[in-house]
Amino acid sequence: MSPGAAGGGTRAAAGMRAAVIHRYGGPEEFRAETVPEPVAGPGQVLIDVTLAGLNYADLHCRTGEYARYPLPAVLGADVVGRRRGDGRRVAALLRSGGGYAQVARAEAAHTVELPDGVDDEQALALLEQGATAYAALTLAGRLRPGETVAVTAAAGGVGHLAVQLARELGAGRVLALASTPAKREFVRALGADRTLDPGDPELADRLAAGSAPGGVDLFVDSVGGRVLRVGLDTLAPFGRLLSIGSRGGVEETFSVDELADRSAGLVGFWLQHVLADRVLFAGIAERLFRLAADGRLVARIDRTVPLSGVAGAHRALARRETMGKVLVDVHRED
Ligand SMILES: NC(=O)c1ccc[n+]([C@@H]2O[C@H](COP(=O)([O-])OP(=O)(O)OC[C@H]3O[C@@H](n4cnc5c(N)ncnc54)[C@H](OP(=O)(O)O)[C@@H]3O)[C@@H](O)[C@H]2O)c1
């Protein structure tokens, strides 16, 4: 979102602090600056932000590979805070950025009120990445009880919730791929039956050994490239290879014959299609928050950085250093 881009109204906007980029490029482009507050248009709300979230897609937004917002721009796709007007505690997904700021403008339809049993950190870590994991497993992946599920980047923001949700949804076995011993230990503690190193040359054999006879029923991938190919090769008959993202490496291509040989499905997923349905989005958020309030779903907060630390947080995500969710305290600059 462009700082101060007006969505309506004539009153001069107040100032706020935000992490701003003036051109697309590396993490060094972020500057903590004072910019005009956004103005809400029809169907939109303003949120006094307490915490903003980082998502992997923010890295692509920063380099300009995704939607190119008008510059200067404030990135960031999820926030938690207080809604202006009624002061209710809410979290929101921002499809046009604007999260790394003290005030965010959100579509009312993409805003959910938070129950008392879920704190700001958990709510923020659950909304974008939890809704992605939940909808990917259920709506796109059509997970059935007893099935074997494999999850790539399993210690990541989406991945560590997908491991827990696969368990919650009745998966028979959960296989978690993560690149370091510490990450594998982390996902094992979350309930993964078996952990695997995505760089292991024997990965396909190890996946097969960890699966129920026949292979993996649902392979949830957010990495792409070689791992996606291994995923297809290890699918059980009627298995689904589900792609929710990629890291920009060389992409695999599959022939229809390869899919037919396994009665396999190749499925994509984009959270936008959940957000387009207000009732569906609200229902998924409610389910996630209920699981969190009951202690059955726990988001790990990797770190909370000040507004001036957004560049470092982007670097950490790119270097694969994080486990779980990275947050930005938009009221701190140290
Ligand atoms: N389809 C949708 O609507 C939707 C919505 C939200 C997110 N997503 C996608 O879901 C994925 C996860 O998002 P997230 O925000 O939770 O991020 P994340 O998984 O926390 O991202 C960091 C992790 O990605 C893994 N990774 C693998 N290859 C990498 C590489 N070349 N460079 C950096 N990291 C690499 C690393 O885990 P290891 O070191 O263990 O491999 C790393 O720790 C992303 O692809 C994102 O675009 C999709």
Per-residue pLDDT of 29-55, as tens digits, reads: 999 999 999 999 999 999 999 999 999
Confidence label for 13 from pLDDT (cuts 50, 70 and 90):
low
d(CA 222, ligand 1 centre) in Å: 6
- For ligand 1, atom 9, the nearest C-alpha belongs to 245
Residue 15 φ/ψ, nearest 5 degrees: -95, 155
- The alpha carbon of 285 and the centre of ligand 1 are apart by a number of angstroms equal to 21
Tokens, residue 259 = 């899919």
Going by the DSSP 8-state scheme, the letter that residue 251 receives in this structure is P
In the chain the domains, ranked by start, together with CATH numbers, are: 15-126+301-329 (3.90.180.10), 142-268 (3.40.50.720)
Length of the chain: 334
Question: pLDDT digits over 221-276, tens only?
Answer: 999 999 999 999 999 999 999 999 988 666 778 899 999 999 999 999 999 999 99
pLDDT of res. 160: 98
Q: How far is the CA of 125 from the centre of ligand 1 (A)?
A: 14
**Which ligand 1 atom is at minimum distance from the Cα of 183?**
40
Question: At what angle are helices 120-135 and 278-293 packed, to 10 degrees?
Answer: 120
Ligand 1 contacts (CB < 6 A) are 55-57, 128-129, 132, 153, 155-159, 178-179, 183, 198, 222-223, 244-245, 247, 269-271, 317-318, 320, 322
